[in-house]
Structure 1
Amino acid sequence: MDSEEAAVRTLFLLLLTTLLPALAHGQVQVFACEPEWGALTNALAGDRAEVFVATTANQDPHHIEARPSLIAKMRRADLVVCTGAELEVGWLPLLIRRSGNPNVQTDQPGYFEAAMSVPRLNIPETLDRSHGDVHSAGNPHVHLDPHRLLSIARALAERLQQVDPPHQAHYQQRLDDFAQHWQRRIQHWEQQAQALSGLKVVVHHQDWLYLNHWLGLNQVATIEPRPGIPPSAADQKRLLRTLTDQPPDAILIAGYQNPQAARWLAERLQVPLVTLPYTVGGDSHSNGLSELFQRTLHLLLQTRKVAP
């Protein structure tokens, strides 16, 4: 090999090293906003990703402080996986902006919004702040419908392949395995859940819209008078009067929500107050995605006094 050919080869290798992402030689650094997306990313990436989850099941994902430690994690991320649809609008844009990380800006492959990968419910025709904290892109709590979750898994696997192209086959195989397992679980859950169709529920917030839609639950009221607005004493009494003649079968809240208003209503209506895990880690029985759905069904079936 003459010197000119050697120089060309060296230049080619240098360019190749520069153009290929650094993560091709290590793990994909993933910043997941919520536990469900951390769990899904781990399922799809396995040892190809190091996943940091920014929040816990005990935190309201609408209201998170943009701490310096989160900015530091964002600065090192190759991929951000969040709910989107404005769920994290109060803190995620600030983290991205302050991180200065070009790879995770909203127009880059390193930015992934799960909710925008699937059809959303309750997209408002008009926006009016008097209606409360309404999301213009629709209800963002999409992870509680396992069919939508599978669609999101497919979109996320494609994004992982895009940011880590040398390992596309790895992500495809793990997606295939996940999809096969998940479809079996959905079939099993839907057989279990037949007894829940028509169950009348009151919810604290619109967290359960997709769960209700999937299971055929009948949401008859919301404790919040408007999304994101805590109920006043007058709101509570008004709701009690409305429900007294036709009480619900159960009142549903998430573990991160203040139970005071829901407990007050449940005691007066003499109906069960059910604290659902909402996300991975929401209680001691919900340490994975499958466990999250199984536990949720178990708790709901108890209101029907049906063993899962």
Structure 2
Amino acid sequence: MRYFRWCFVVLLLGLASLPARADFQVFACEPEWASLVREFLPEAKITTATSYLQDPHYIEARPSLIAAMRRADIAVCTGASLEAGWLPTLLQRASNSAIQPGRAGLFYAAEHAQLHAPHDHVDRSMGDVHPEGNPHVHLSPDEVPAIAKALAQRLGQLIPEASGDILARYIRWRGDWSKHRIEWRQKAEVLQGRSVAIQHTNFSYLLNWLGVDSRFELEPKPGLPPSASHLSQLLAEPELKDVEAILIASHQDPQPANWLASQIQKPVLVVPGTVNDAGETQTLAELISMIVNTLEATVQEDSGGRL
């Protein structure tokens, strides 16, 4: 009861707070963080470096991005070395003291989450492995709330006159996320124990949370494109018969998945790896719901109850 009273007071304070600066500039490395910022600060001017049709590992440090970062009041990125190939160059060329490492204007989402599969030792022979752990944490129903809370607090720190409104928006967002989480958990019941193949580990957080086995990967090593020899090795795996679908992201080359699907007579499911400004996946909750619904619908379409 005290918690709900506190939430009510915060909401009232939020409604009474001053509006955020309309000229507040945000640089988002990935669309998921642009979407999350927009939940708490809809008036902000946001530049997003990547889209759902791009691999966030490999982005060109274009002059337009450098200019946007130079104007930014905050840069919101994943971290965990996801942007290691291009973000340091942008930070250096932008020469914006407000968003340098260690400053409040640089926010790394991965620093506020428990990442899967960290490594004590990493070398190039392992492929594109992140020592901090799997950086694709934006699809984790459990970790996103912690990231969202930290982001809302950081935005409130940078715009103290709007902190009450930002906190109120976060509380509303947290309540909505909890409702979605209950729905996802209910739909996960039919997915428990199922198995899918993936091309990269970008869906691993969600699949693990749903209880879906994703041990078979089309990439021979993380970050390396699928090869004919590796796909042939997959075909020789006795347990491949238990893989009931191949799940890939919109930005990934569909040819390897289509070839493997033709060999094992399984469907290929192509879904966005992150949010999209158009359509039904403009927020992280919508994106996760779409992926879960796609998996659930595929199960229900099969009269035998299998993917």
For residues 123-168 of structure 1, give each alpha carbon's deviation from its aligned partner in whole angstroms, at most 9, with x where no partner exists: 0121121010100111000010122111111000011011111221
Partner residue of 2:119 out of 111, 124, 130: 124
Which sits farther off after the overlay, 242-251 or 100-109? 242-251
Closer/same/farther in 2, CA of residues 185 and 25 from structure 1, 3 Å limit: closer
Distance 2:205 2:240 in 1: 27
How big is the alpha-carbon RMSD for the aligned residues of Structure 1 and Structure 2?
A: 1.8
Q: Match for residue 216 of structure 2?
A: 221
The answer (yes or no) to whether the contact 1:30–1:50 under 8 Å persists in 2 is yes
Mapped pair 1:45 → 2:73: no
Closer/same/farther in 2, CA of residues 111 and 277 from structure 1, 3 Å limit: same
Q: Match for residue 232 of structure 1?
A: 227
The answer (yes or no) to whether the contact 2:191–2:296 under 8 Å persists in 1 is yes
Of the two, which has the highest radius of gyration?
1
Q: What is the deviation of 1:76?
A: 0.1
- Counting only pairs closer than 5 Å after superposition, residues 238-277 of structure 1 correspond to structure 2 as 238-242=233-237, 246-277=241-272
Q: Match for residue 137 of structure 1?
A: 132
Distance 2:80 2:124 in 1: 17
Partner residue of 1:179 out of 174, 178, 183: 174
Aligned-partner residue type, residue 155 of structure 1:
A
Identity of aligned residues (%): 43
Distance 2:118 2:98 in 1: 29
- Counting only pairs closer than 5 Å after superposition, residues 18-33 of structure 1 correspond to structure 2 as 26-33=22-29
Q: What is the deviation of 1:284?
A: 3.5
Partner residue of 2:205 out of 178, 202, 210: 210
Distance 2:192 2:231 in 1: 27
Q: What is the deviation of 1:306?
A: 6.1
Aligned-partner residue type, residue 237 of structure 2:
T
What secondary structure, in the 3-state scheme, does the structure 1 residue paired with 2:54 have? Answer: coil
Partner residue of 1:294 out of 286, 289, 296: 289
Structure 2: gaps (5+ residues): 1-18, 303-307
Query: Would you say how many aligned residue pairs link Structure 1 and Structure 2?
Result: 284
Structure 1: gaps (5+ residues): 1-22
What secondary structure, in the 3-state scheme, does the structure 2 residue paired with 1:200 have? Answer: coil
Distance 2:217 2:160 in 1: 45
Closer/same/farther in 2, CA of residues 306 and 117 from structure 1, 3 Å limit: farther
What secondary structure, in the 3-state scheme, does the structure 1 residue paired with 2:75 have? Answer: strand
Q: Match for residue 99 of structure 2?
A: 104
Q: Match for residue 74 of structure 1?
A: 69
Q: Match for residue 89 of structure 2?
A: 94
The answer (yes or no) to whether the contact 1:244–1:269 under 8 Å persists in 2 is no
Partner residue of 1:305 out of 281, 287, 300: 300
Q: What is the deviation of 1:243?
A: 5.0
For residues 54-110 of structure 1, give each alpha carbon's deviation from its aligned partner in whole angstroms, at most 9, with x where no partner exists: 111100000000000000000000000011111111111110110000000011000
Q: Match for residue 12 of structure 2?
A: none
Q: What is the deviation of 1:208?
A: 1.2
Which sits farther off after the overlay, 186-195 or 255-264? 186-195
Closer/same/farther in 2, CA of residues 133 and 171 from structure 1, 3 Å limit: same
Closer/same/farther in 2, CA of residues 271 and 282 from structure 1, 3 Å limit: farther
Distance 1:26 1:40 in 2: 17
The answer (yes or no) to whether the contact 1:58–1:282 under 8 Å persists in 2 is no
Aligned-partner residue type, residue 38 of structure 2:
N
Aligned-partner residue type, residue 54 of structure 1:
A
What secondary structure, in the 3-state scheme, does the structure 2 residue paired with 1:88 have? Answer: coil
TM-score normalised by length of structure 2: 0.88
Deviating 4+ runs (over 6 angstroms): none
The answer (yes or no) to whether the contact 1:277–1:283 under 8 Å persists in 2 is no
Q: Match for residue 274 of structure 2?
A: 279
Distance 1:178 1:207 in 2: 24
